[in-house]
Amino acid sequence: MEAEYQRYDGVTAKTVADELVDTYSEVYSVPPYVDDPFFTVDMFGDRLHRAFGMPGFEAVTARVDGQVVGLVHGVTLTADKPWWVSLDDRAGDKLRTAVENGEVFWLRELMVRPKYGRQGLGRQLHDTIITGREETATALTCVIGNEPAHSAYLRWGYRIMGQIKHAPESPVYDAMVLSSHPM
């Protein structure tokens, strides 16, 4: 299977927003997400549309036969994000300074439709979005117990900084960081 990868900025991503939401709808239609109000399609759509206007927004899609089968998106991490603030000193001074200087990419979502899982698309999406970015580190949050994603991030070189919540109603996440990536 050969996938085609395409990059989008905040303006062009709006033109494929329905496809991104549709992909999310399929990926998150299984337990434990399907019954959790934090993971509704409407909540994702709202978060996605807010992200379009954030500094450094970028998305990458993987398409097979024209259909989006995977996607990743993120923004430049700002020091005022509540989950980031909640890490306190666990992130370390060097990383805190990097965030304050706009040098950390926040990988907000990475997903592959189940039919296309375990074929390397997730890794390719990840590597495509971080390659060439100006930021020198990438941070993400992963729901604790979200396997195989959690193990994949650790294999890819991420380290766990600590546990956080995005909102009072959200599940507990591991905040993770990849210290450097290809330029």
16-59: per-residue pLDDT in tens? 999 999 999 999 998 888 888 889 999 999 999 999 999 999 99
Distance CA 35, CA 178 (A): 31
56-72: per-residue pLDDT in tens? 999 999 999 999 999 99
Give me the chain's average pLDDT, please.
Answer: 94
Q: Output the pLDDT for position 32.
A: 81
Expressed in angstroms, the distance from the first to the final Cα of the chain is 27
Q: Is the pLDDT of residue 183 over 50?
A: no
Distance CA 140, CA 56 (A): 15
Distance CA 123, CA 82 (A): 27
Q: Is the pLDDT of residue 181 over 60?
A: no
Q: Output the pLDDT for position 182.
A: 52
Mean pLDDT of 155-173: 93
pLDDT level of residue 149 (50, 70, 90 thresholds): very high
Tell me the three state secondary structure of residue 56.
coil
Greatest CA span in the chain, whole angstroms? 46
Q: Is the pLDDT of residue 1 over 80?
A: no
User: ∠44-49-53 over CA atoms, to 5°?
Assistant: 140
Distance CA 177, CA 160 (A): 7
Contact 70, 113 (CB under 8 A): yes
Contact 24, 85 (CB under 8 A): no
